[in-house]
Structure 1
Amino acid sequence: MKRTFWLASYPKSGNTWFRILLANLAHGGETPIDINAIDSTDGIASARRSFDDHLLISSALLGHDAVDLLRPALYAHLAERATERDDQQHMPVRFVKTHDGYARNSRGEPIMGGAHAAAGALLFVRDPRDVACSFAHHFHVSLDHAIATMGQADHCFFGTPSTQWPQLRHRTFGWSSFAASWIDQLDIPVHVIRYEDLTAAPHETVAAALGFVGWQASSAAIDRAIDAAAIDKLQHQEAEHGFAESSQRARRFFRKGIAGGWRDELSTAQIAKIEQDHWPMMQRFTYMLNRPTTVADSRGLNGQ
């Protein structure tokens, strides 16, 4: 049976870039693949159509809590039949994207199915100050709104009961709570990928992730995939053909692709609010506080 791994991330943390890289790695060609034809993942875990087609019941007839009771069985079923599927046959493992926090349903079962549904997860994390900027741009909301949303420990997407969304309700929690839900659970192993490491040391970071999932790839193949997924090439493709996964509210999906851009976009008050909300989790991922250098600091740095 082909092993399944979740590609888990709070929105705007590098999940899409990594999926495009995987698609180029599997493709193995010299020319970057079409960003609108990537098949490196088995859709997104919260896709409503997948739920309806495989369980043979309309999720529209069920409440959110009832859907959550069935999702563990769905994911276990899909993992079991992974070798029978026609898609992703060129890949050694099966990847499934998710923005779900690792939550449990009313029976106490992990909604993501635990060890029955996946062999592990790659968890993408990004400095919450950069996430806030990208989140605001993607969803076309103010920075203050994005920051407030990231601080809501009970936040969920597609949870409005009167609207039939294309995705099932999924609990993203807040930025800190999302990360904690994955790294603190004990059902499946998790390999953390920091966005900052993807940008600063892409080869080493990608190689470590591939080692975790058991995908053997040559150093040259990894380098080709990284080059094919370079931000300028993605931006060029999006400018020419658009990107299917882009929000209708945003002008473009591939914006900057850098780490630390928040320094030019956030006010002092906004930075302080993010750090106040998320400092304990930021420490766990070695993100540093933004603190103005004082006279005493300067003297210390100069050895005076």
Structure 2
Amino acid sequence: MSGIVWLASYLKSGNTWMRLALASAREGGVAVDINRFGGGDDTISASRRHFDSVLDIDSADLTASEILAARATAYRLVAETLGVPALWKTHEACTHGPDGTPIFPASATAGVVYIVRDPRDVAVSLASHVGGTIDDVIALMAESGRIASKATIALPLQLEQQIGSWSENVESWLDRGPCQPIMVQYEDMRRDMAAVLRRVTEGIGMPTSIAAISAAVGATDFKVLRAQEEQFGFAERPETAQRFFRSGIAGGWREALSAAQVARIERDHGTVMARLGYL
């Protein structure tokens, strides 16, 4: 089946790493260029340029509600042109347009890989990413219905995105997605990326081999990606972050968060954390 495989997650949960690893495995385990390999702006669900190109319109002339209503149509048109499934990254919650139509339609979907990470680690990583305090980020992660990339003075490169809270984002894809998702935990990626890639590639029907997966794991080792960023920079790193590929460790929250910060995250997201085995 052709269509789009959505690589979905809340921010700073391992989405970019997974995208690079899958792209490498698909090509036999070749080395990656983080600024080219695995796709650019056009393989991000909220790409304004891609939306305008596919629908042959100027999104600057539309309201946010009109854009949201047209998203599903844009994805269906993309899916019709694909000979093989495409890997598209998204941090958006799996929500609906103003008329109740899912913005990620089943008819355009070849699969869903949803990546989750302990929200306590997400808070630490996201604070570094946005250049904010951990307390501010904890509040942001609990913000129900949170929207990103709202237009202010200049028109953002990405369309307005309904991110939701961390819990809302997770539950939207696990419970109301366009198909049964393959759920991947970031901690398992750190523990045994080869096993994760085997499960994911089999689940989405991507032809590959044990040798290709092994090579892809080496090509996208966190130290390799971080060294590339240090040498050449990374186009997806925001100006607020010193680096995109920071440390990548699991469990670092134990040294970085105060007891009060841990308690607030667990209070905000305890139900979903327990569901995923984080509590």
TM-score band w.r.t. shorter chain: over 0.9
Match of 2:89 in 1: 97
- Gapped regions of structure 2 (runs ≥ 5): none
In structure 1, distance between residues paired with 2:153 and 2:214: 47
Q: How is 1:138-153 mapped onto 2 (pairs within 5 angstroms)?
A: 138-153=129-144
Letter in 1 for 2:95: A
**1:236 correspondence with 2:227:** yes
Q: What secondary structure is seen at the aligned counterpart in 2 of 1:179?
A: helix
Q: What secondary structure is seen at the aligned counterpart in 2 of 1:258?
A: coil
Letter in 2 for 1:4: I
**1:46 correspondence with 2:46:** yes
Q: CA RMSD in A?
A: 1.5
Match of 1:72 in 2: 72
Match of 2:218 in 1: 227
**1:126 correspondence with 2:113:** no
In structure 1, which of residues 111, 126, 129 is the aligned counterpart of residue 103 of structure 2?
111
Q: In the alignment, is the contact (CA less than 8 A) between 1:100 and 1:171 conserved in 2? A: yes
Question: CA offset at residue 186 of structure 1?
Answer: 5.5
Q: 1:260-289: per-residue Cα shift (whole Å, max 9, x none)?
A: 01111111110100000000000111102x
In structure 1, distance between residues paired with 2:204 and 2:240: 35
Q: Give TM-score scaled by structure 1 length.
A: 0.88
Percent identity, please: 39
Match of 2:256 in 1: 265
Q: 1:149-172: per-residue Cα shift (whole Å, max 9, x none)?
A: 000111010124554111001101
Q: In the alignment, is the contact (CA less than 8 A) between 2:3 and 2:108 conserved in 1? A: no
Q: 1:110-138: per-residue Cα shift (whole Å, max 9, x none)?
A: 012x2111122100110000000111101
Question: CA offset at residue 247 of structure 1?
Answer: 1.0
Letter in 2 for 1:38: F
Moved more, 131-140 or 157-166: 157-166
Q: How is 1:1-304 mapped onto 2 (pairs within 5 angstroms)?
A: 2-28=2-28, 32-39=31-38, 43-83=43-83, 93-112=85-104, 114-160=105-151, 162-185=153-176, 187-288=178-279
Question: CA offset at residue 217 of structure 1?
Answer: 1.9
In structure 1, distance between residues paired with 2:267 and 2:33: 41
Larger Rg: 1
Q: In the alignment, is the contact (CA less than 8 A) between 1:13 and 1:131 conserved in 2? A: yes
Q: In the alignment, is the contact (CA less than 8 A) between 1:22 and 1:40 conserved in 2? A: no
Letter in 2 for 1:126: R
Moved more, 38-47 or 64-73: 38-47
Q: Give TM-score scaled by structure 2 length.
A: 0.95
Question: CA offset at residue 28 of structure 1?
Answer: 2.6
Q: What secondary structure is seen at the aligned counterpart in 1 of 2:43?
A: coil
Question: CA offset at residue 187 of structure 1?
Answer: 3.3
Match of 1:291 in 2: none
In structure 1, distance between residues paired with 2:160 and 2:29: 37
Instruction: Return the structure number with greater relative CO, CA threshold 8 A, min gap 6.
Output: 2
Q: What secondary structure is seen at the aligned counterpart in 2 of 1:149?
A: helix
In structure 1, distance between residues paired with 2:138 and 2:99: 32
Question: CA offset at residue 29 of structure 1?
Answer: 5.4
Q: In the alignment, is the contact (CA less than 8 A) between 1:235 and 1:255 conserved in 2? A: yes
Match of 1:299 in 2: none
- Gapped regions of structure 1 (runs ≥ 5): 84-91, 289-304
In structure 2, distance between residues paired with 1:222 and 1:124: 18
